[in-house]
Structure formats: C-alpha cells, structure tokens
Copies of this chain bind each other. A is one copy, B any other.
Amino acid sequence: MLINPNQKRVVNVDGVQLSTVSVDCVIFGLEGDELKVLLIQHDEGPVEGQWALPGDYVKFDFDLEEMPSIVLKQLTGLENVFVELFDVLGKVNRVAHQRVITAAYFALISTEKYELKKGLEARDIKWVDIHNIPDLIYDHNEIIKKGYEALKLKLRTEPIGVELLPKQFTLTQFQKMYETILDIKLDTRNFRKKILKEDILIDTNQKELNVPYRAPNLYTFNAEKYDTLKAKGYFLNIY
C-alpha cells in the first residue's frame, strides 16, 4: 500500500487524478405516522460526536452499486432492501481536508423486525423524524432534503411506498403511508376506489388479528401485475 500525505495530488499511470469516493444512505422508515431517517453518531476522528448519514468509502474490489446494500446489512441485518441512487455530490470542498465525491442513495425499510447495529465506527444510531433532523456533518442535511424530495417525487410515479410496509398491510396503513410521506390528507373512499381499480393490491382474505375493533382486511402488493403495467408505461398518480 502506498500512503500519500497529500491525496489531492495523486494521479494514476495515465496521469489521471484520483478521488476518494463514498456512498451515503438516506434510510427511510415509518414509525406510527412519522417518516423517519436513520442517523449514526461518529465515534472518532475529526467529526467525533457528530451525527451523520450512514455510509462508507468505496473499496477497490466492490462495485459502487453494492455498497449501499452492504451498509444496510451492517446496520440492520436486512438484505434485499429497496435502494435507489438519487444524487451525486462532488463539490471540491464539500468535505474538509479531503476531496470526497459521494453517491447518495435512498433506501426504504419496512416496519418489520430488524435489529439496529451501530457498527464499529459509530458511537450511537437512531431514527429521527424527517421534519426534525439535527445539524449533521458536511452537506448531509442537504442530502437528506434532496433524498426526501426524490422519495416524494418517486412516490407519485411509482408505488414504491409498499417497501415501507410489512408484507401484508391494511388499506388504512397503505393510505396513511401516502399521507405521512407526502404530508397531505386523502379522502378514504376515493383513495380506496382508485387503488383497488388499479388492481395492484391482492386481497389476502385474511384479517388483522388482535385488534380491539372491526378487524381490517390484509392485502399484499401485486408486484408482477405492477411490472407488466409499468412496462406499458404506467403511472400511479395520487394527489
């Protein structure tokens, strides 16, 4: 390994200048009727004690594209999580003392069981309401803001919100998920009419158990049906 005190001046064999590349993950989850983001607290180094987005540097032998999944696995133990790129940030001085280009991904994790693990380099880890994010290191507040905008935009063109729900969910949960993320109120009758006509939900004919009132029906997402619709150029617009 070559250690270079001045990373900014390193070039490769072709004279091409090199950069540090990282990934940052805006991990969304639903808790009750709040949309939350997962944050970690750095344990050492120049940003010790400060809160930040989970992320990692891109290693030689890993595809950039697999890095977000690795980060997710480390933090939650979850695999096959929905992850999508939404931005790349590469201003020269976005990170102090180092030039770091970062790929920003958002991830949606469902309200099912997982165990938060802070990892070796973090002192703490927690969920924070999207509307109440503390001051984070570097441009991470800006990244979250863009990630939230990307999520809202995407939610209006694709029903990716199901990724935030358990495998089986009620129509009430489904509606509240849209209301929470988009910060709007929807008419229940019209919402259900529209969603059921879209035919992307499957009625499991099962009812939620152990509720102290009328037991709601459970649905699952019809991914195959949705994929064929999508292939024909389809949008689910909910306002």
Interface residues of A (CB under 8 A from B): 1-21, 57-65, 85, 87-92, 98-99, 101, 103, 153, 156-157, 233, 235, 237, 239
Contact = CB atoms under 8 A, between A and B. Distances in A.
Given A60-B92, A235-B156, A11 B2 contact: yes
B18 A3 contact: no
Contacts of A235: 156, 237
A61 to B, nearest CB: 6
15 contacts: A2-B9, A7-B16, A8-B60, A10-B18, A12-B20, A14-B98, A18-B21, A21-B101, A60-B99, A61-B92, A62-B92, A64-B90, A65-B89, A65-B91, A101-B101
Nearest to A14: B98
Nearest to A87: B85
A97 to B, nearest CB: 9
Nearest to A104: B88
A16 B57 contact: yes
Contact of A64 (B65, B101, B156): B101
Given A63-B90, A90-B65, A156-B235, A4 B8 contact: no
B60 A89 contact: no
Given A4-B11, A4-B13, A18-B10, A91 B103 contact: no
Contacts of A9: 1-2, 60
Nearest to A65: B90
Nearest to A100: B16
Contacts of A90: 21, 58, 63-65, 103
A173 to B, nearest CB: 23
Contact of A157 (B14, B58, B98, B157): B157
Contacts of A98: 12, 14
Contacts of A88: 64, 85, 88, 103
Contacts of A12: 3-4, 7, 10, 20, 98
Interface centre among A5, A9, A17, A157 (most CB of B within 10 A): A17
